[in-house]
A and B are shown apart, each in its own frame.
Chain A
Amino acid sequence: MYVAVKGGERAIDNAHAWLAEERRGDLAVAELTLGQIREQLRLSVNRVMAEGSLYDPDLAALAIKQARGDLIEAIFLIRAYRTTLPRLGGSWPVDTAEMAIDRRISATFKDLPGGQILGPTFDYTHRLLDFRLAADGEAPVPAATATPSPDAVPHVMGLLDRDGLIEPAPVTDGTPRDLTRAPLELPADRALRLQAITRADEGFLLSLAYSTQRGYGRTHAFVGELRIGTVAVEVDIPELGFSVAIGEVELTECETVNQFTGSATQPPQFTRGYGLVFGQSERKAIAMSLVDRALRWQELGEDFVGAPAQDEEFVLSHCDNVQATGFLEHIKLPHYVDFQAELELLRRLRHDTQRMASQQNAEAAE
């Protein structure tokens, strides 16, 4: 039970003023600019855009600065801002086959059309602190360049699909359900699940995906392909009557190849898990594709083994960190009346117990 409580305005104002001062920190240290955050903390910006579900690097940088680097708080700020924007339309589905590729690797085929392109990756670094970054840094040595190949970089899944070795990805018409427009209703179709988990908390999704690898709903995933780069966003412009590529977004896409489905009439095929996330965010994209695959047990005729990652209601109800934070942290807000009721109850129970004990003592003494 909540009760309106008045008072405390002065304390709140003073707390917020102190918050602003603490946010700024030591005045002898230069203030962070949004450009610095956008350019040099790019992966934080990416996470805030992905989980805030709004692609705008400048806004994400502002949110990170305002939230003092607390990314979930920054995501909350972006979600709140997002609700103030009119929805002007929906894009054509982006074409990831046409991606301008920064990185593209496959764990299933060594030699493949387009090759293995490592891109700006943390992989193969030694994870040793680099104290040169602590010193006043000089500009890094320019990255090496080579002549780009004019050849296309086709999806690995397309190669498997050509031979019928992987389940097809059927195309249905119609606008997908949108959980930002209508409350989430279960059961969800795969499109709605993907919308929920692409904006889900990275840590939650990572742990769920890890749990499937350790045996809680095992799906035997291989990373068929992981690609990072930019794609054009094409939108129908009503006043023109045709569509225009009005922008570009950076995306990470992960496609997993998983164990088989098949029937008496259909020969066995590999199955798919899919992850697509705003920004360079491969941990999240891999996790997403594993959780997507685990959630497909029913459609693929697998057993429900009670694993959390298979449980659509569990996953979709708990994956959103803004929702989770809101409910978790509300318990710090005044619950004075609630608590008074509990206190009253406890006192009465204790009183009853004590009275019974003293009665028993009195009877024993007689």
Chain B
Amino acid sequence: MTTMDRKAWIGLLARAPAARLAELMPTLPPHSFLRPPEIGAVMVRGRIGGTGSAFNLGEMTVTRCSIRLDDGTLGHAWVQGRDKGHATRAAVADALLQTNDSTRVKAEVLSPLATEAAEHRNARASKAAATKVEFFTLQRGEDQ
């Protein structure tokens, strides 16, 4: 397991629609909470001029949660929004992905989420692409 893998799957679980994650993970293995789901806010920052120094844009709601599986594996989650079930599932999935179950969880949870996220993104990009302006210039009379 590399950090990049874990960084990617924690992000994917966090950005997944909560209802979809609930469908994909209907039952959870036994676990205990190191930190029960906690709702808070993160200050989102932008850059002055898009590329300059940081400034505070406004907050967004976040729920974080940490769990321990019975075998001692720890799972962490920070997810956007206020859905405690989402944070719990994401934390459990993070733990499972570090165990021997990882292949199964990757196939059953991560793959569909990644595919659907890509489809969603592509669907919007396709609609945007259809609104791209194709300029044409009329030939001016004096140029003939």
Contact = CB atoms under 8 A, between A and B. Distances in A.
Interface of A: 49-50, 53-56, 58-59, 82, 85-94, 96-97, 100-103, 110-111, 115-120, 143-149, 155, 157-158, 169-172, 175-176, 178-180, 190-192, 194-195, 198-199, 232-233, 235, 237, 239-240, 242-249, 251, 253, 255, 272, 274, 276, 278
Nearest to B78: A246
Contact of A93 (B40, B45, B124, B125): B45
Nearest to A248: B15
B55 A194 contact: yes
Given A247-B79, A255-B50, A117 B58 contact: no
A290 to B, nearest CB: 15
Contact of B57 (A88, A198, A245, A248): A198
Contact of A176 (B14, B55, B61): B55
A172 B128 contact: no
Given A91-B44, A119-B131, A242-B3, A155 B81 contact: no
B108 interface: no
Nearest to B4: A242
Interface of B: 3, 6-7, 10-11, 14-15, 38-62, 64, 66, 76, 78-82, 121-133, 135
B58 A50 contact: yes
B76 A240 contact: yes
A89 B78 CA distance: 11
A144 B66 CA distance: 44
Contacts, number: 228
A252 B135 CA distance: 25
A26 B123 CA distance: 39
B66 A247 contact: no
Nearest to B44: A91
Contacts of B127: 143-145
A244 B7 CA distance: 6
Given A93-B46, A169-B49, A239-B66, A246 B80 contact: yes
29 contacts: A54-B41, A56-B81, A59-B82, A82-B59, A87-B42, A87-B43, A88-B64, A94-B46, A96-B47, A118-B133, A155-B51, A157-B51, A169-B47, A180-B59, A191-B48, A194-B46, A199-B58, A233-B60, A244-B14, A245-B14, A246-B10, A247-B60, A247-B62, A247-B80, A247-B81, A251-B46, A255-B50, A274-B48, A276-B57
Nearest to A89: B42
Nearest to B61: A56
Contacts of B40: 85-88
A247 B7 CA distance: 13
A248 B131 CA distance: 23
Given A87-B43, A118-B131, A119-B131, A93 B79 contact: no
